[in-house]
Structure 1
Amino acid sequence: MSTTSVIDALQSQAEHERFASISYLALSLWCEAADYSGFAEFFKKQAAEEAEHTEKIHGHLLDRGVQPILGAVEAPRQQFSDLIDVAKYVVELEKANTRGIHGCYEAALEQRDYPSQVMLHWFIEEQVEEEAWTGKLLTLAQRANCAGAMATLDRHVPRIFAD
C-alpha cells in the first residue's frame, strides 16, 4: 500500500465503523428497554451493517498487505431522553462517518492511491443513503408528537427503512 497517511486514515475509519456498530447496538438495546421493538429491530440491523463496513475496510487493507490494527473503542452513548434524542444522535453519528470517509478519500487522492479511491467510492455513495435515512428518521420522529403517533412509527420503522 502506498503511504502511511492513507493507511492511518483507513484504520481510523475502520475504528469509527466499529464504534458506529456498537452505537447502533446500544440504541437497539435502549429501544428494546423502552418498548420500541420496531426501532430496536431496525437499529440491530444497522449494527450489523456497520460491522460489515468495518470488515470491508479491513479486507481492503489485508488485500493490500496491511494488517488491520484493532484499538480500544470507547463506550457508546446509552441513555436517551426519547426517540427524538435517539434520531438526533444517529444523524450526528452518520455525519461523523461521512467526514471520516471524505478524509480517507482526500488522503487517497493526495497519495494517488487509486485502489483505495475506488473502494471509497462505494462508501461515499453509502453515506449519501445513510444521511438521507437519518434525516428522514429525525423528521418522522419530530412529527410523531403524541404517544399514539410514536407507537405507529415504531411499528412501521422496519418497513419504512427496509433496504
Structure 2
Amino acid sequence: MSDAVRKELQRQFNHELMAAHQYEALAWWCAHRTLPGFARFFRHQAAEEREHAARIGRHLLDRGVQPVMESVPAPRMDFASLLEVARHAQTLEAANSRGIQTAYEAAVTARDYPAQVLLHWFINEQVEEEAWTAEMVNRVEAATCAGALLDLDRHIERLLESDKSAGH
C-alpha cells in the first residue's frame, strides 16, 4: 500500500470515529430536549459510523497496516433548534463524502485496486447518507408547530430507516 493511500485511509478511519462521537453528542442534545426518537436515531447513526471505521480498520489490518487512533475533538453541542441539529448532521455527511472521495482519488492515483473496491462501498453508502440528512432537514423544516415536531419525533426512525432500505 502506498504511503498516500495509507495516510488517506488512516485519516478516514479517524474521521468516521469523529463522526460517531458527534452523532452521540446529537443524541444527547435530543434526549435533553425530550426528543427520544431523534436521540435513538442519532445513536444508531453513531453505531453505523463506528462500524464504518471498523471496516476501514479491518482493511488496513488485512493489508499489514495497524490502524492508528487519533484524538477525537470535542463535538459541537450548542444548537438553538432541532433544525440546526439536522443541518449539522447534513454538514457532517457532506464532509464525510468529501473525505471518502479524497481517499478514493489517492487509491486511483496509486492504482490500489483493493482500496478502490473498499471505497466504492463507502461512495455508495454516502449517497444514502446524504439523502437521509436532506430528508431529515426537509421534514424538520416542515414541522412548523410543536405538535408536528412531536409527531415527527415519534416517527423519525421509521421514516428515515424506510427511506434507507428503499434506497432513497
**TM-score, scaled to structure 1:** 0.98
Q: CA RMSD in A?
A: 0.6
- Whole-Å Cα distance in 1 between the matches of residues 115 and 131 of structure 2? 24
- Whole-Å Cα distance in 2 between the matches of residues 40 and 80 of structure 1? 14
The aligned amino acid for 1:148 is G
The aligned amino acid for 1:152 is D
Could you tell me which residue of structure 2 aligns to residue 117 of structure 1?
A: 116
The aligned amino acid for 1:86 is V
Identity %: 52
Could you tell me which residue of structure 2 aligns to residue 150 of structure 1?
A: 149
Shift of 1:85: 0.3
Residue correspondence of structure 1 range 50-61 to structure 2 within 5 A:
50-61=49-60
SS of 2:107's equivalent in the other structure is helix
Could you tell me which residue of structure 1 aligns to residue 107 of structure 2?
A: 108
- Whole-Å Cα distance in 2 between the matches of residues 109 and 87 of structure 1? 33
- Whole-Å Cα distance in 2 between the matches of residues 150 and 36 of structure 1? 9
Could you tell me which residue of structure 1 aligns to residue 95 of structure 2?
A: 96
1:77-129 CA-partner distances (Å, limit 9, x unpaired):
01211110001100100000000000000000000000000011100000000
Q: Which runs of 4+ in 1 moved over 6 A?
A: none
Q: Which runs of 5+ in 1 are unaligned?
A: none
* Aligned residue-pair number: 162
Shift of 1:161: 1.5
**TM-score, scaled to structure 2:** 0.95
Q: Which runs of 5+ in 2 are unaligned?
A: none
